[in-house]
Structure 1
Amino acid sequence: MTVPMSRRAALGFGSVAAATAVFGTAESAAAEEASPSVSAQATPEQAAAAIGLVYKAAAKKAGGTWNAKVSVEGAAGPISAVAAGVDDTVESYSVNKIPVAIAVLDKVDRGLLALDQRIEVTSAIVIPGGDGIFSLDGAYPSSVTLGHALAALLTVSDDTAVRLCGLVAPALEINQILVAKGFPRTQVEPVANPNRFFLGTTTPTEMHDLLRALVRGDLLSPASTAYLVGLLRSPIAFTDGVRREMSSDERARIATKAGWFDDGRNEAGIVFDTAGEPLLTYAFFARGQANPEDFGATHPAVQARAVMGRAFLTILGRLTGATEAATLVTRTPYRPSNGG
């Protein structure tokens, strides 16, 4: 359940622009009136309540069906901000590329694979069209490192990279690894070829808990954890949803993965503070909105997540008791290049 809080009080934690996008121009004046001073601070419980109301309004405006779990980190553990159908089995689509990568990196941690080992890329394995870069290459056969495949999998959400991961971690093995790590309902869907699979299903609870366990360092070695989270926080990771209305520095605080297919529009991730500590975990699974043929930033569910992301970050910026020490999940500063 979300923490009870009046809409007027919740609006005080967000910007007028975010409130206008969620509630409409008629309430922007009320938002401005309710907004506290810049120095105003909030407890995690108050932040969770405000985040819950922002989610409720944005999801309602987008329409369709939402399954979602969002929590804010508190002193004694996560505080629920959103809980909507959290134990329903949902189609994950490309959000399940995170657990696929976890299974592959688990084998790296056990010495069964290495990031610098090469994988053959044949014309037969390349998925034409869709998302990613391998279908754009046009020069096969070739080879890439396992690290290259994982980077393509989690940043540009490459479809062929799923098949490349399947060459080193078959579907049944991926599922066994995930069950052993405590996620029996986060599973890929095997097909006749043991090295190929559909991306399968999860629940909002399991995806939320998987992300929290990942950044705590409970699922992988410190090196593999930092590697995976670094990919999800990179500047080329998904920017149409939660991260859209943010500066480059703000985007770098978000580790996120989106997934889309048919009428489904999903996104899951973690928001960090400026010291590298996790503040908020989200898992959104939306379907049934208008314009299912639109896979861009103008889709209603994607627009809703952009509103949520901006408002969430504003609300989290008011939290009291900011952390001082960074976790094992650090970030390489973003340095654009002009070639040369």
Structure 2
Amino acid sequence: MLRIMRPFELLSSAAQGSAGFVCHATGPFTGLLGAQLFMRIGAKSRSETEGSIIPNAVVITTCSHRKSVKPTRAATPSSLSRAHQPIVATQWITKVDRLPRWGAAETFYAGRAFGLAKEAANLSAARFYILSAGLGIVPASRPIPVYGLTISPRHEQSVLRKIVGDFDPPEWFSSLLTGVHSDEWSDVAGGNSGRILTALSRPYAEMVAASLANAPRRMLERLRIFGTSLETALPVNLHAAIAPYDERLNAIIPGTRTDFAQRAMLHFVKSVATKPSKGREDDFAAVRSSLKNLKLPRLVQRPRVTDEEILAVIKRRLRMQTGAARMLAALRHEEGVACEQSRFARLYRIAAAKKGM
């Protein structure tokens, strides 16, 4: 015979854990409450047995060329006057500080690399930050304006086109940290525990190197940096924080060099951050262990060709196919031509625009 338990008895029973939880009631309140508690506790039990992910304090990634909204010319470096870097930086910061907020930063940026970083942040319940060449260190939930700026010299929104004389990437980034949209590294380091996972491309590593190297020591000890060929871009005191990933990662999470850092960070979250950190050496030993039985992929040597030659191939193939990703794959695997992804995207836009005209 079933005994109807009072609500407080049911809660007390549930608190003992899923193994000792038995629903004795069928009443409208107790049955519903019991089912909800059972589902929650059961889900927790499954995650514990399957290997739950330990929360990380912070996940940081770079911004992306791909945006969910296209900026107007007034929100790009095209509207700035040509001058030496400090003047251009002041012009830009004044401009973006006055632009209307559009929405949360995490909804503005797009692309596979950014999506992988966002997944890593969600899985590890981390505070999520974006390193932006136009805004600085941006919390993902912060409302930001629609803008377009890059430090890539070939891009149409490159700020380098407006700078007279030499460009100093670390000094540019330090200027951005004074803007209203940016936090400081000390804000990122808030809290005294938890890993700080940072995915960097080489250009971004060069840009943030000086300010990051001078971040609080308690932050640097918690830092794990993901990326390829970063040693010559970062100061010596940050080298110990670079996670020992290499091209063997492609056997686990395939991708391109442009999303290598984010793929490595996501793998770290899923395979290493399932246990509390005992320190960087322990974490990186786990990374090496996960890669040790994998083989480096065989490198395919493809000839490099000029922009004009690639444009000719794109124009020819546009007659029978569309889609930048599919065409880049065809260029590499069918045409046997080497072309970096951002370079191809630029040339594809040019060819597609001419075809439309």
Would you call these one fold, judging by a TM-score over 0.5? no
Point out the structure with the larger helix share.
2
Quick one: higher RCO (CA 8 Å, sep 6+), 1 or 2?
1
Determine which structure has more spread, i.e. the larger CA radius of gyration.
2
TM-score, normalised with respect to structure 2: 0.26
TM-score (norm 1): 0.27
Q: Which has the higher strand share?
A: 1
